[in-house]
C-alpha cells in the first residue's frame, strides 16, 4: 500500500509540474493536455472509485492551491470524475483501449462544461459554441492523444506496483 | 480486483470529499487567507521543484525553436547586417537627440515612464494550464516583500496583479483573465474606461475596452493607461492601444478593443511594483 501511495504522489506531482511548469515554459504549446485528469481517470478506471476519487481530490486541490481563486473548486469536479470513472471501470473492466479513450473524452468534456457553466456562463459569456471550439475541444483532443500514449505504460506501472506489493505481502506472511 | 474497498463504501467517501470541497469553496470565497495559509505548507517543497521543471521546459522550448529557426536565420543574417550599418548611423543621430530630450525633460520636471515606482524582478515559473484562466506563478513571495494587490508589469506594460502570496512564490492574475477588470483612461484625453479580459476576444490577442462615455474622445491607437481612480492599480501604467471603438447599442457608452503592449505568450520575467495604491483594498 505504501508503494502504491508513493506511486500516486509521484504521478500526481509529476503530472502537475509537467503540465503547469514544463508545458507553460514551452511557448508553442497553446492548449495544454490535462495530465492531472489522465492520472485521475486512469487510476479511477483501473483501481475503482475509491482510488479515483482520492487521486482526483488531491489533483484538484493542488491546482486550487497554486492557481485557483477558490480552494475546492477543481477538487470537487476532479473528485466526481475520479468517482464516476471508478464506477464505470468496475462495470466494464476489459482490455480494450477504446473504453478509456471514450471515458477520457467524457471526463474532459464534463470538466470543460463544469468550468464553463460555473465561471463563464454566470459571468455572462453565453457563447458556448466559441468556448467549445477553442478551449474544450482542443483540450479534449490533446488529452486524448496523451491518454492513448500513456494508458498502457501506466497500466503496466500499476500492475508492477501491484505485483511488488503482493510479493512483499507473501514474504511478510 | 478491488479487495480493500468492502469495509467502507466509496459513496460515503465521495460524500465526505464533496462536503470538504464545498466547505473549502465557501471558506475561501469569504476569506482569501485560507488559500495562502494552506498553500504555505506545500510551498517550501514544491516551489523549487516547479522552478526546476520550468527551467527544463524553457530549455527544451528554446532549443526546439532554435532548430526550427536556423535556416531562416541564415537569410535574415545577411539582410540584418546591411540594416545594422544603416541603423548605426541613425542611432548616433538619435543619441544626440536623446541627450537633448533629457535636457528638456529635466527642464519640465518630467519623470521617466516607470521610474517613480520601486520594482522587483521575478521569473514566471508556472502557468495555469487549465486553458480557462490566465494566472501565472512567480518565484518571489512574501519574503521578498510581495503583497496581495501589488501591480505586475512586463515588457513596458501592465501584465497583472498579485492575487495570493506565500513565502517564496505568488500567484499573478493576468489582465487577460476573464475575471480581470482594470480601471483605465486614455492618456491624452483622460477619458475613463474599463479594460476587461475576455477569453473569446483574447484569441485575437485583444482585450475588451468598455464603459467609455459616449462623448469621450477615444479613438484608434490612443494610449490606454491605468486610471487615477482605480482602487488597486497604480496610475499611469501603460496597458495598450485602443482599437475599433464604436458606440454601444444603448447609445450611452462606447466600447471597443485594446491591444496590450505585453506579449502574454512570451511572459518569462516580470517586474512587481512593490508599492501599493494607498487607498487600495
Q: What is the pLDDT of residues B127-184, one digit of tens each?
A: 887 778 889 999 888 888 999 899 998 888 899 999 888 888 899 999 999 888 999 9
Contact A45, B142 (CB under 8 A): no
Task: Verify whether the Cβ–Cβ distance A125 to B136 is below 8 Å.
Answer: no
Count CB atoms within 10 A of the CB of residue B71.
9
Instruction: State what percent of residues in chain A have pLDDT above 90.
Output: 16
- What pLDDT is attached to residue B109? 61
Average pLDDT in chain B: 83
Residues of B in Cβ contact (< 8 Å) with A72? 20-25, 28
CB burial readout A17-49, b (16+ within 10 A) else e = bbbbbbbbbbbeeebbbbbbbbbbbbbbbbbbb
User: Which residues on A lie below 8 Å from B265 (Cβ)?
Assistant: 27, 30
pLDDT above 50 for B5 = no
DSSP A121: I
CATH topology (fold) of A2-165: Arp2/3 complex 21 kDa subunit ARPC3 (1.10.1760)
State the Cα–Cα distance between residues B14 and A80, nearest whole angstrom: 8
B42/A32 touch (CB, cutoff 8 Å), yes or no = no
pTM above 0.90, yes or no: no
Dihedrals φ, ψ of B246, to 5°?
Answer: -145, 155
Domain ranges of chain A: 2-165
What are the φ and ψ backbone dihedral angles of B155, each rounded to 5 degrees?
50, 35
Query: How far does B155 lie from chain A, in Å, by closest CA?
Result: 17
Cross-chain residue pair A63–B29, CB shorter than 8 Å: no
Residue B115 has pLDDT above 60, yes or no: no
Contacts of residue B179, defined as CB under 8 A and 6 or more positions apart, other chains included, come to A69, A119, A123, B133, B173, B197
Q: What's the pLDDT band for A92 if we cut at 50, 70, 90? A: low
Tell me how far apart the alpha carbons of residues A6 and A17 are, in angstroms, rounded to a whole number: 16
- Alpha carbons B145 and B262: distance in angstroms, whole number: 24
Which residues in B lie closer than 8 A to residue A79 (C-beta atoms)? 14, 17-18, 21
| Contact: B130, A26; criterion CB under 8 Å | no
- State yes or no: pLDDT of B112 exceeds 90: no
Cβ–Cβ below 8 Å for A21 and B198: no
Distance from CA of A125 to the nearest CA of B (A): 9
CB burial of residue B196 (10 Å; 0-12, 13-18, 19+): buried
pLDDT in tens, B53-88: 888 888 887 887 788 788 788 888 888 888 888 888
pLDDT tens by residue, B237-260: 889 999 888 888 888 888 899 999
Query: What pLDDT score does B150 carry?
Result: 92
Q: Which residues contact B221 (CB under 8 A, 6 or more apart)?
A: B241, B242, B243
Provide the pLDDT for residue A28.
Answer: 67
Inter-chain residue contact B2 with A47, CB threshold 8 Å: yes
| pLDDT at residue A93, rounded to an integer | 59
- Cα distance from A113 to chain B (closest Cα, Å)? 11
Give the number of other Cβ atoms within 10 Å of residue A54's Cβ.
23
Q: What percent of chain B has pLDDT over 70?
A: 88
Q: Are A97 and A148 in contact (CB under 8 A)?
A: yes
Q: What is the pLDDT of residue B280?
A: 42
* Residues in chain A within 8 Å Cβ distance of B13: 50, 53-54
- Find the mean pLDDT for residues A69-81: 88
Closest CA to B230 of B135, B156, B142, B158: B158
Which tens digits make up the pLDDT trace of A8-50? 999 999 998 888 888 777 766 677 888 999 999 888 888 888 8
**Res A79: pLDDT:** 92
Report the residue of chain B nearest A80, measured CA to CA: B14
User: Helix, strand, or coil here: B247?
Assistant: strand
Q: What is the structure's pLDDT at B110?
A: 54
Q: How far is CA B69 from CA A30, A149, B45, B66, B73, in A?
A: 19, 29, 37, 5, 6
Mean per-residue pLDDT for A78-99? 77
A127, pLDDT greater than 60:
yes
Q: Which chain B residue has the Cα nearest residue A1?
A: B4
B58/A21 Cβ within 8 A: no
Percent of chain B with pLDDT over 90: 15
Helix (H, G, I), strand (E, B) or coil at B270: strand
Q: Cβ–Cβ of A65/B38 closer than 8 Å?
A: yes
Cα angle, residue B110 at apex, residues B107 and B114 outer, rounded to 5°: 150
Amino acid at each position: 500500500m505504501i508503494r502504491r501511495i508513493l506511486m500516486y504522489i509521484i504521478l500526481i506531482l509529476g503530472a502537475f509540474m509537467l503540465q503547469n511548469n514544463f508545458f507553460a515554459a514551452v511557448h508553442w504549446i497553446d492548449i495544454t493536455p490535462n495530465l492531472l485528469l489522465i492520472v485521475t481517470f486512469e487510476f479511477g478506471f483501473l483501481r475503482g472509485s475509491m482510488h479515483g476519487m482520492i487521486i482526483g481530490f488531491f489533483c484538484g486541490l493542488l491546482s486550487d492551491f497554486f492557481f485557483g481563486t477558490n480552494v475546492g473548486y477543481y477538487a470537487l469536479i476532479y473528485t466526481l470524475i475520479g468517482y464516476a470513472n471508478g464506477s464505470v471501470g468496475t462495470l466494464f473492466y476489459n482490455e480494450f483501449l477504446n473504453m478509456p479513450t471514450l471515458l477520457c473524452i467524457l471526463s474532459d468534456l464534463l470538466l470543460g462544461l463544469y468550468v464553463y457553466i460555473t465561471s463563464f456562463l454566470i459571468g455572462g459569456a453565453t457563447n458556448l459554441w466559441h468556448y467549445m471550439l477553442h478551449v474544450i475541444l482542443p483540450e479534449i483532443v490533446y488529452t486524448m492523444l496523451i491518454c492513448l500514449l500513456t494508458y498502457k505504460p501506466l497500466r503496466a506501472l500499476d500492475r508492477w506496483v501491484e505485483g511488488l506489493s503482493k510479493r512483499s505481502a507473501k514474504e511478510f506472511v | 480486483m478491488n479487495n480493500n474497498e468492502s469495509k467502507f463504501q466509496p459513496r460515503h467517501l465521495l460524500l465526505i470529499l464533496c462536503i470538504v470541497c464545498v466547505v473549502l469553496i465557501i471558506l475561501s470565497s469569504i476569506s482569501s487567507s485560507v488559500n495562502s495559509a494552506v498553500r504555505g505548507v506545500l510551498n517550501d517543497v514544491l516551489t523549487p521543484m516547479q522552478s526546476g521543471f520550468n527551467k527544463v521546459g524553457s530549455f527544451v522550448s528554446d532549443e526546439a525553436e532554435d532548430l526550427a529557426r536556423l535556416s531562416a536565420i541564415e537569410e535574415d543574417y545577411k539582410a540584418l547586417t546591411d540594416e545594422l550599418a544603416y541603423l548605426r548611423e541613425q542611432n548616433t543621430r538619435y543619441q544626440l537627440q536623446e541627450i537633448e530630450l533629457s535636457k528638456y525633460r529635466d527642464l519640465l520636471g518630467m519623470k521617466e515612464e516607470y521610474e517613480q515606482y520601486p520594482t522587483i524582478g521575478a521569473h514566471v515559473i508556472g502557468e495555469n494550464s487549465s486553458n480557462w484562466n490566465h494566472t501565472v506563478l512567480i518565484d518571489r513571495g512574501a519574503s521578498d516583500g510581495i503583497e496581495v494587490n501589488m501591480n505586475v508589469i512586463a515588457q513596458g506594460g501592465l501584465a497583472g496583479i498579485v492575487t495570493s502570496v506565500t513565502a517564496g512564490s505568488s500567484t499573478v492574475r493576468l489582465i487577460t483573465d476573464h475575471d480581470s477588470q482594470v480601471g483605465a483612461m486614455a492618456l491624452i484625453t483622460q477619458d475613463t474606461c474599463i479594460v476587461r479580459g475576455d477569453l473569446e476576444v483574447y484569441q485575437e490577442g485583444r482585450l475588451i475596452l468598455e464603459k467609455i462615455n459616449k462623448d469621450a474622445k477615444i479613438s484608434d491607437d490612443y494610449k490606454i493607461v491605468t486610471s487615477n481612480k482605480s482602487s488597486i492599480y497604480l496610475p499611469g501604467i501603460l496597458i495598450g492601444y485602443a482599437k475599433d471603438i464604436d458606440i454601444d447599442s444603448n447609445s450611452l457608452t462606447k466600447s471597443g478593443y485594446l491591444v496590450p503592449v505585453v506579449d502574454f505568450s512570451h511572459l518569462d520575467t516580470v517586474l512587481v511594483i512593490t508599492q501599493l495604491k494607498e487607498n487600495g483594498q
